[in-house]
Amino acid sequence: MSTIADFRRRSRSCPSLAALPLVLALLVAPDAVRAQAGLPPAIDPPAASRAPAGASSGGLTAEIMYRVLLGDIALQRGELPLAARAYYEVARETRDPVLARRATEIGVASRQRVLALDAARLWSEIEPTAERPKQIIAAYTSSTGRVAEIPVGALDLKAHLERILAETAASSPQSVGDAFMQLNQLLSQEADKADVYRIIVALAEPYPKVAEAQFAVALAAYNTGLSDIGTAAAARHAVDRALAIRPGWERAAILKSEILAKQSPAEAIAYLTDFLKDAPGSRPIGAALAQLYVEENRYADARAVFQKLWDQYKSARELEFGVATLSVQMKDWSTAERLFEDLKAAGYGEAGVVDFYLAQIADETGRPDLAIERYRAVPEGERGWLAKLRIAAIMGRQNRIEDARKYLADLPAVTIDQRVQVIQAEAQLYREAGDHAKAYAVLTKGLADHPDETELLYDAAMVAEKLGRTDDTEARLKRLLELTPDNAHALNALGYTLVDRTSRTAEGFALIERALKLSPNDPFILDSMGWAYFRMGKADEAERYLQRAFSARPDPEIAAHLGEVLWTKGERERARAVWKSQLGANPDNAVLQETMRRLAP
């Protein structure tokens, strides 16, 4: 059983759920996610769901579809060079202008000059009337035919972009909007986001009636982080102007919701809910609303949005998948299993995705043999590897620790990451069995072979804390912070340890404060802040942070802390109610049990 310190970062126990907000957004609204990141929009409809324009139905081979899908997945993951190459190769074979454009723009964004130039030439050859590829060819090619350097420095870059926009407006006015939609993508490699924002504001000034120009300004402002009031107000003003020029523009509406969510998720949810009243069938808006609900831990509301969309588009398997994954998050196992079995029968999804979920459901519902069978069905690859590790964990829970250790030792761990994961899995066998000394020995041996592996340092620190070896915990976490100074979970873990186990409360509080700035809505960091205030004798502040943490994540150990603060303040009935709310589902939680025995025997 874990202590509160074991949960100072998001759990790795379920990687498929840890990425759930991103999964939901990519299911239905990939453009929104890419817009937020300054990436180009997805091909609409997604390339993987249709034949390339230049390919006849007879020529659409599985190999072509695979390569388009590879490009889509690479783009979703932000792997721009791989995406550009995949799109270019398919465009060259299929003569699809949409894919040629995509390869060109991604090549420009990722500064692959040779590939961008080749793709632009291909695009221009396929679509001779298109102005954009000609502009890119002219920008990249000198009189000698060699690839020219893009101007560097803010002033040179601004002048260069002003010239391109002016030439575009003169030769092809309808293309100016497209050019503005690429600006944030083009400048995504620039480190100074405030400088990028100022450049785009200046570039947009001559085009006050171009919705895309206002969108580009709003997105550039959003990419600064909206840390000051002026930029936040400018972002809202620009996106509102874009929507006034182009009412009902889904992409701008989603960006507006993201801008609003920076200050008030409730306001963003209300805005998207109102938008859906006028456009009830909008899948991008529905997906964005569902994502906001997920980020607020309102899984039932998110599922209701997906269910409503799925009712309208019954053939859209990605919506069914969204309902299924949210059912898992809600622990509605029967609904989730029924839907995933239906998806499996339909052959939906990347190889192994549905199998992995079905195995997880069997594991969570106490059917270990079926879970192992299903995990074994997950094909080779990243998910297949995770499935193998899950099998070892199930064997450990069946008290077959030696069998599990032998199983792990026989796994073909090729990469360093895989070797580290095997070490973690073996240590976890002992941790779940309550033998923390052996777990620490496994991790210590692993660190001897891989001394600066951050995952091993963190796990070793957590096990040392269980053993009462506070000095070792501190040393491991300090080394981890030397390697990753902005690691919010490591900052929080060290801060909590100092607050809870030493008299260095002020030092621990400062570390937790840094962690909270990096991850302001993390419920476990909020819990640590509340506990630090409690240790400093500030019960009201402690209650405020702990209540926020508990509302975001009803967790037995957060409940233990909140209940203790309430008990100390004399609100004993409220304290008992908080404890009772978690005791039924977590009767063996050590921290909750110890707190109740100590305060209310």
The band of 450, judged by pLDDT with boundaries at 50, 70 and 90, is very high
pLDDT of residue 63: 58
- State pTM to two decimals: 0.66
Give whole-number Cα distances, 389 to 357, 395, 421, 426, 572, in Å: 15, 10, 8, 9, 44
Q: Is the pLDDT of residue 19 over 70?
A: no
Percent of the chain with pLDDT over 90: 54
Q: 103-112 in b/e burial notation, b at 16+ Cβ within 10 A?
A: bbbbbbbbeb
- CA 222 remoteness from chain centre: 17
Ranking 45-54, 376-385, 413-422, 565-574 by mean pLDDT, the lowest is 45-54
Give the span between the Cα atoms of 337 and 325, in whole angstroms: 10
The band of 66, judged by pLDDT with boundaries at 50, 70 and 90, is low
Q: What is the DSSP string of 203-214?
A: HHTT-TT-HHHH
Domain ranges of the chain: 39-150, 413-485, 491-601
Pick 394 or 189 by higher pLDDT.
394
Q: Is the pLDDT of residue 560 over 60?
A: yes
pLDDT of residue 83: 80
Dump pLDDT digits (tens) for 297-346. Answer: 788 999 999 999 999 989 989 899 999 999 998 999 999 999 999 999 99
Which range is most confident: 47-51, 81-85, 476-480?
476-480
Ranking 65-74, 222-231, 384-393 by mean pLDDT, the lowest is 65-74
Pick 55 or 213 by higher pLDDT.
213
pLDDT of residue 149: 41
Q: What is the mean pLDDT of the chain?
A: 83
Q: Which residues pair with 147 in a beta bridge?
A: 141
Just give the CATH number of 39-150.
1.25.40
Under CATH, what is the fold of the domain 413-485? Answer: 1.25.40
Which range is most confident: 159-168, 524-533, 581-590?
524-533
pLDDT of residue 488: 92
pLDDT of residue 9: 36
- CA 202 remoteness from chain centre: 32
Angle made by CA atoms 261, 265, 271, in degrees to the nearest 5: 80
Dump pLDDT digits (tens) for 186-200. Answer: 777 677 888 889 989
Pick 308 or 63 by higher pLDDT.
308
| Crossing angle (nearest 10°) for helices 132-140 and 113-126 | 140
pLDDT of residue 138: 76
Just give the CATH number of 491-601.
1.25.40.10
Give the span between the Cα atoms of 601 and 595, in whole angstroms: 9
pLDDT of residue 453: 93
Contact between residue 302 and residue 290 where contact means Cβ atoms under 8 Å apart: yes
Q: Which residues pair with 141 in a beta bridge?
A: 147
pLDDT of residue 152: 40
Dump pLDDT digits (tens) for 523-535. Answer: 999 999 999 999 9
pLDDT of residue 131: 80
Structure-token pair, residue 150: 């893009």
Ranking 270-274, 516-520, 537-541 by mean pLDDT, the lowest is 516-520
Give the span between the Cα atoms of 397 and 431, in whole angstroms: 11
Give the span between the Cα atoms of 546 and 531, in whole angstroms: 8
pLDDT of residue 524: 93
Instruction: Judge whether 39-150 and 413-485 match in fold.
Output: yes
Pick 277 or 80 by higher pLDDT.
277
Pick 44 or 64 by higher pLDDT.
64
Q: What is the average per-residue pLDDT within 544-550?
A: 94
Q: What is the DSSP string of 439-468?
A: HHHHHHHHHHHSTT-HHHHHHHHHHHHHTT
Sign of torsion over alpha carbons 422, 423, 426, 431: negative
Q: Is the pLDDT of residue 489 over 90?
A: yes
Q: Is the pLDDT of residue 28 over 50?
A: no
pLDDT of residue 525: 95
Give whole-number Cα distances, 18 to 29, 71, 115, 436, in Å: 19, 24, 35, 26
Q: Is the pLDDT of residue 96 over 60?
A: yes
Ranking 246-250, 313-317, 401-405 by mean pLDDT, the lowest is 313-317
SS3 for 367-416 is CHHHHHHHHHCCCCCHHHHHHHHHHHHHHHHCCCHHHHHHHHHHCCCCCH
